[in-house]
């Protein structure tokens, strides 16, 4: 863009062009999370001020997207500008205990629409590498309802990774678009209890008919059918009946269907006849984004240090992550203490136990990488350019970013005052190598396990 344009176009429009430029370069999800809704606050000769929801948001933009933003600004404003931020304060109610986990109870009205938790939507579901496929499949069914080839869709994962959320997101989406359809959401446990009750009351025909009217059957935690032969038999008929009528079925379970024990083979092969996708635990970026989303939905102002610390301490399970946040907020409200790092560390120690609590620092990462790569700790933070030293340094930078949540600049400083672009370069190289080289990926996973679990005697 040239000088003329800059003089005649409003800063808002120019910023919009920056956003368009950025949108092209990153994933939709990343753009939605970090850039959509970011407005310009002011612009001067050498500075551009943007509005962000909190300080953390800006720091994240700084550490992850600074080069990209600089690029966009240079192109659109035809000169580099210093990027600064202002925080837009949102209304919030600190007097009440935040009701993060205040969900619509699922114990009532199982088989009608109101049994869906309204907050389990696609909008509230943060996409990351681990759940991308599952979310895409769920969304595709919702958008192409009635003509989707993914029937049944089966989503499996360990507990707390978003299966129920996605399952209900499909229901919520379809209710909104096509209110006349009959959607059944229930757990397999509920299915069994209803079935047994219907036998006791001599109403098995009513029971069968009730579910057969569904246009969409969402059935959660199917592993519960293990060993329950009669219930399986009943479900098998329901499944076939719906399937033949072209109705849609989505199932979740806590492991791959091949690993189910005590479920009839013919049922398992039905389960697998559509699309099977799994969900892996979220990485750091996704965990942080999930916490930020929760804070956003609940209108809470949580300091950057707290989000970062929670997300890097509680790995592996989103439910635990949310639980930790809820606990922090509850304690803060009940004991009238600020939500700060001191409070969060106490809570995390409480949750994980003193022994299990290991704050992962860049130093800890370096110690383990040094052993792993058989190079000295000093050389990792030094200037040496020998091949194995360089690789160890890059791995250590990458893992520091994954584990500590420190900004790239801070990580760079730790490694012999290198600048943030060196760190970005290192992270990209290692990420690429993990993606393309399975043996390397396994080694890194083992290293990560050690960093998370091994006690250092010193």
What are the residues binding ligand ADP (CB under 6 A)? 124-126, 131, 157, 159-165, 290, 293, 318-319, 322
DSSP-assigned letter for residue 117: -
Instruction: Report the nearest approach of Mg ion to the CB of residue 379 (Å).
Output: 47
The residues in 154-213 that bind Mg ion, with binding defined as CB under 5 A, are: 163-164
Out of ligand ADP, Mg ion, none, which partner does residue 160 contact, by CB within 5 to 8 A per kind? ligand ADP
**Secondary structure element (H or E) that encloses residue 153, with its range:** strand 153-156
- State how beta strands 248-253 and 153-156 pair: parallel
Dig out the tokens for 294 from the structure.
């929760």
Q: What are phi and psi of 119, to 5 degrees?
A: -85, -5
d(CA 248, CA 274): 11
- Which of residues 164 and 231 has its CB atom nearest to Mg ion in the complex? 164
- Which of residues 43 and 251 has its CB atom nearest to Mg ion in the complex? 251
Instruction: Report the nearest approach of Mg ion to the CB of residue 165 (Å).
Output: 8
Q: At what angle do helices 318-334 and 284-297 cross, to 10 degrees?
A: 50
Structural contact between residues 171 and 216, judged by C-beta atoms closer than 8 angstroms = yes
Instruction: Report the nearest approach of ligand ADP to the CB of residue 437 (Å).
Output: 27
- Which of residues 308 and 322 has its CB atom nearest to ligand ADP in the complex? 322
Q: What are phi and psi of 454, to 5 degrees?
A: -85, 135
Structural contact between residues 225 and 186, judged by C-beta atoms closer than 8 angstroms = no
Instruction: Report the nearest approach of ligand ADP to the CB of residue 293 (Å).
Output: 6
Instruction: Report the nearest approach of ligand ADP to the CB of residue 192 (Å).
Output: 18
d(CA 362, CA 377): 11
Instruction: Report the nearest approach of ligand ADP to the CB of residue 387 (Å).
Output: 39
- Which of residues 111 and 364 has its CB atom nearest to Mg ion in the complex? 111
Number of other CB atoms surrounding residue 293 within 10 Å: 15
- Which of residues 187 and 307 has its CB atom nearest to Mg ion in the complex? 187
Instruction: Report the nearest approach of ligand ADP to the CB of residue 185 (Å).
Output: 12
Start-to-end C-alpha separation, the chain: 58
Dig out the tokens for 451 from the structure.
């960093």
CA 375 to chain centre: 35
Instruction: Report the nearest approach of Mg ion to the CB of residue 282 (Å).
Output: 16
Cβ-defined contacts of 161-164 (< 8 Å, 24+): 161/130, 161/131, 161/279, 161/280, 161/281, 161/282, 161/317, 161/318, 162/125, 162/131, 162/134, 162/279, 162/318, 163/134, 163/220, 163/252, 163/279, 164/120, 164/220, 164/252
- Which of residues 293 and 371 has its CB atom nearest to ligand ADP in the complex? 293
Dig out the tokens for 8 from the structure.
């005649």
Number of other CB atoms surrounding residue 285 within 10 Å: 20
d(CA 285, CA 279): 16
- Which of residues 119 and 164 has its CB atom nearest to Mg ion in the complex? 164
Instruction: Report the nearest approach of ligand ADP to the CB of residue 424 (Å).
Output: 25
- Which of residues 280 and 293 has its CB atom nearest to ligand ADP in the complex? 293
- Which of residues 125 and 225 has its CB atom nearest to ligand ADP in the complex? 125
Dig out the tokens for 55 from the structure.
């300080």
Out of Mg ion, ligand ADP, none, which partner does residue 126 contact, by CB within 5 to 8 A per kind? ligand ADP
Number of other CB atoms surrounding residue 257 within 10 Å: 19
Instruction: Report the nearest approach of Mg ion to the CB of residue 221 (Å).
Output: 6
CB closest to ligand ADP, residue no: 162
- Which of residues 215 and 220 has its CB atom nearest to ligand ADP in the complex? 220
C-alpha dihedral sign at 449, 450, 451, 455: positive
Which residues are at the interface with Mg ion (CB under 5 A)?
Answer: 163-164
């Amino acid at each position: 863009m040239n000088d003329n344009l800059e003089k005649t176009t409003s800063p808002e429009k120019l910023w919009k062009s920056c956003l368009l430029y950025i949108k092209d370069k990153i994933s939709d999800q990343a753009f939605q999370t970090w850039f959509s809704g970011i407005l310009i606050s002011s612009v001067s000769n050498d500075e551009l001020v943007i509005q962000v929801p909190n300080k953390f948001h800006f720091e994240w933009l700084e550490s992850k997207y600074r080069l990209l933003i600089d690029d966009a600004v240079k192109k659109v404003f035809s000169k580099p500008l210093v990027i600064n931020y202002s925080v837009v304060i949102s209304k919030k109610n600190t007097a009440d205990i935040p009701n993060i986990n205040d969900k619509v109870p699922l114990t009532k009205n199982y088989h009608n629409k109101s049994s869906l938790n309204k907050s389990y939507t696609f909008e509230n579901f943060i996409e990351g590498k681990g759940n991308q496929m599952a979310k895409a499949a769920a969304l595709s069914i919702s958008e192409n309802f009635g003509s989707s080839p993914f029937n049944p869709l089966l989503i499996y994962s360990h507990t707390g990774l978003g299966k129920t959320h996605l399952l209900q997101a499909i229901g919520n989406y379809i209710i909104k678009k096509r209110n006349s359809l009959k959607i059944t959401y229930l757990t397999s446990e509920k299915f069994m209890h209803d079935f047994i009750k219907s036998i006791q009351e001599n109403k098995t025909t009513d029971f069968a008919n009730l579910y057969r009217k569904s246009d969409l059957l969402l059935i959660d935690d199917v592993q519960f059918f293990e060993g329950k032969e009669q219930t399986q038999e009943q479900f098998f008929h329901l499944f076939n009946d719906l399937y033949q009528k072209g109705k849609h079925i989505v199932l979740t379970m806590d492991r791959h269907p091949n690993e189910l024990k005590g479920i009839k083979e013919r049922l398992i092969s039905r389960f697998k006849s559509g699309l099977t996708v799994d969900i892996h635990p979220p990485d750091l970026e996704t965990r942080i984004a999930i916490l930020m989303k929760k804070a956003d939905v609940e209108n809470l102002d949580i300091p950057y240090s707290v989000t970062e610390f929670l997300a890097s301490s509680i790995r592996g399970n989103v439910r635990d992550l949310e639980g930790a946040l809820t606990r922090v907020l509850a304690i803060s409200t009940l004991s009238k203490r600020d939500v700060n790092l001191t409070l969060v560390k106490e809570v995390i120690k409480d949750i994980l136990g003193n022994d299990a609590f290991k704050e992962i620092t860049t130093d800890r990462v370096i110690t383990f990488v040094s052993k792993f790569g058989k190079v000295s700790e000093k050389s990792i933070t030094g200037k040496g350019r020998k091949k194995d030293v360089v690789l160890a340094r890059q791995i250590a930078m990458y893992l520091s970013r994954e584990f500590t949540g420190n900004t790239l600049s801070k990580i760079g400083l730790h490694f012999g005052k290198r600048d943030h672009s060196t760190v970005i370069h290192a992270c990209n190289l290692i990420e690429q190598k993990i993606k393309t080289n399975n043996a390397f990926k396994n080694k890194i996973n083992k290293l990560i396990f050690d960093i998370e679990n091994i006690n250092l005697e010193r």
